[in-house]
Structure 1
């Protein structure tokens, strides 16, 4: 048994339980383990410095801030509101029209931002007041907003997929392609649930008696701008005109043009960049410190040791996969999703590879299960973002958790479906 690695893991768990921010827990436990493993502080500090420098210089990391700023600009410019209004007004006669429009708007919004937090905040301001004005229940309205906000973690350009690709050295473009069909399928499942709920419980989602007007010219233009941005950015990546990193830069320039066309000026653009920095900085710091932890894991062969333990339990392929899913889901109830990925993927990835699990399938199942953790108590990052963003003092966190429960159940169902029928995730990447 590799004492130094397990000691570092125990230190990491102890620091997290004690309430130390995860980024510092990763850094402290990694340094502690490396000092023991390398026999001194200076060799450990040299390795940490080299790891941090190589991480900062990694060309692939540029994708994360570019796509985040892109999404923030779209949200702040009012294009997200235009998108919701256009979808809403095209769904006349659909049960739970406003909830279905929220799902549809989030699905499209997800294609211009890989950060679910941005979607949750944007649609809390855009969709919630409209739903409450139409007498939707608080639980159903906020559950729909929080539940559909996580579509951005699956539909490209997902920050989750970018982080997963960096950790496992996979192609970002192939993972983006793999998320398209499952992402659209999940959005469809969400929309069907909303329509069914509104039909079975009309008191919680009544149909408005007001006449639904056609979208205005300004709203149609805003939605069209978002559509063109998606086609240019993701289309360019999939058809090989530019790499994902180059595509993120193209998307950022396009978002700036959209924001300017929507009347946004330097003050608003500056604010969007500031908010993006607040979102991106913790992610980048987590990536750097988690890379240090990955070095320690690789140095001492922890994945091989965990694999031998699992083999001794006789779990087999499906049993091992179920074990990983259980770990992801339980961790999702306690810590944030990016931290779960950074903590577990360096250990689980070599095990999955050795067992012959398809890399695309494993990535999608892992992302989906971790994604469910964004919605589960007691952490539920999206739930607390919605609670903070919704202009309703009477709304309770409990109401949001109740309303969002069906959404994470559907996420877990889709994860099982992909594992049972891999072409759902692998078909589109195989055509690239």
Structure 2
């Protein structure tokens, strides 16, 4: 018979292994095997569960959606289309304070629609935007804070890898999750821009005001290999804009209106992105590099998802989820206190492990608890994704901050300064969480309207 001692042992074993540095997939697998054995007492059942879970994972086409969307983003990123759009946005905001930082937020918003990975956004815009902001005498910490903070939009605006993982773990519609992230993503981008404008008005030296005149008709761009002063022909910009908007519209529109499944949409998006990259001049070697890069990133995620499927099955067999839900229900705590505890756990875990690992460890347990307390499923998913992703900006292991630091190759600014400059964006994300909790319709409006 199940007891809380067994639940405590399973959770303590899992967190202990993770904190000792054991790979999350291994920790999930070991914990699952121990949990099933504690309940059944038979190794044969442990082996059978492992085998059946692996076989089902290999046959599940849903898992293919992650590498396909990542491949779509990789092709578009390597085509140079995002750089073209960033340059055009930059030119279009000439008379607005902090236009380069605002262009970075808007550029990250566009890039989020094609990549779904925050770290990819941070690496790309560290190379695209930072040289331009340095050339215009922006404060370096302020510049890198804007890059790191706005990169978080990649996890919220579809097609987000975190949304796909959340949908797989909770068996929700990925299409509805994608729709649920659009308005919160726009809200978060708007709040980032408001913060940037207020800071620029309060302290103009942060954005290079008063520095020597700089020719705004030429834009310094970095494509990952070298920085040059380039002109952007109108035809080149229109090709990039039409290509990116067309791919986003075709893929997300097709998913939302039921033309194809998320997996089919991801495949179509990867094919269209390959065509755009070919039109923009991507070479064979870059094509191979793109596939290799996606493989290196996606393979560990696939292994994690398999381990998470085993972990979820173990929780169901052992009754851990039911026990934790009953514990909170019997505690007498108010629903918002329970939600605050969940968010606090996510913030703490975000300081030490990555977002996908946090999601795999906690979502199968906390989502049933939240639903039992009457929280809306879609808005809770969006709140969870924002709260988990906020951990990428927090010390000591904020992955976005370290990604930005590694990408800029600038010895004059340390990682501590980037962490400090990212704090306001973390606070803005907390404000967004509170707004979505207070007004769940921000997340629910589009899914209820279109699906």
Q: Normalising by structure 1, what TM-score?
A: 0.97
- Once the two structures are overlaid, the 10-residue window that deviates more, 339-348 or 13-22, is 13-22
Residues 18-417 of structure 1 mapped to structure 2, 5 A cutoff: 18-207=20-209, 209-213=213-217, 215-217=232-234, 218-417=236-435
Distance (whole Å) between structure 2 residues aligned to residue 340 and residue 322 of structure 1: 16
SS where residue 281 of structure 2 aligns?
coil
Deviations 1:301-336 (A, max 9, x none): 112211222233321211111111111111111111
Q: Check 1:307–1:333 CA distance in 2 against 1; reply closer, same or farther (3 A cut).
A: same
- Once the two structures are overlaid, the 10-residue window that deviates more, 174-183 or 287-296, is 287-296
Q: Which runs of 4+ in 1 moved over 4 A?
A: none
Gaps spanning 5+ residues in structure 2: where? Answer: 218-230
Per the TM alignment, residue 393 of structure 1 is displaced from its structure 2 partner at its CA by: 2.2
Deviations 1:98-142 (A, max 9, x none): 110000000011001111111111111111111111111221111
Distance (whole Å) between structure 1 residues aligned to residue 281 and residue 290 of structure 2: 14
Decide whether the 8 Å contact of 1:198 with 1:206 is kept in 2: no
Per the TM alignment, residue 5 of structure 1 is displaced from its structure 2 partner at its CA by: 3.8
Distance (whole Å) between structure 2 residues aligned to residue 32 and residue 129 of structure 1: 52
Decide whether the 8 Å contact of 1:5 with 1:297 is kept in 2: no
Q: How many corresponding residue pairs?
A: 432
Identify the match of residue 421 of structure 1 among 439, 443, 450. 439
Distance (whole Å) between structure 1 residues aligned to residue 55 and residue 88 of structure 2: 46
Per the TM alignment, residue 356 of structure 1 is displaced from its structure 2 partner at its CA by: 2.2
Deviations 1:243-301 (A, max 9, x none): 21111111101110111111101110110111111111121111111221111111121
Decide whether the 8 Å contact of 1:95 with 1:196 is kept in 2: no
Distance (whole Å) between structure 2 residues aligned to residue 367 and residue 315 of structure 1: 24
Q: Check 1:88–1:105 CA distance in 2 against 1; reply closer, same or farther (3 A cut).
A: same
Decide whether the 8 Å contact of 2:73 with 2:115 is kept in 1: yes
Per the TM alignment, residue 83 of structure 1 is displaced from its structure 2 partner at its CA by: 1.8
Deviations 1:217-267 (A, max 9, x none): 223422332122111111222222222111111110111011111110111
Distance (whole Å) between structure 1 residues aligned to residue 238 and residue 136 of structure 2: 23
Decide whether the 8 Å contact of 1:75 with 1:118 is kept in 2: no
SS where residue 203 of structure 1 aligns?
helix
Distance (whole Å) between structure 2 residues aligned to residue 325 and residue 127 of structure 1: 32
Distance (whole Å) between structure 1 residues aligned to residue 63 and residue 88 of structure 2: 34
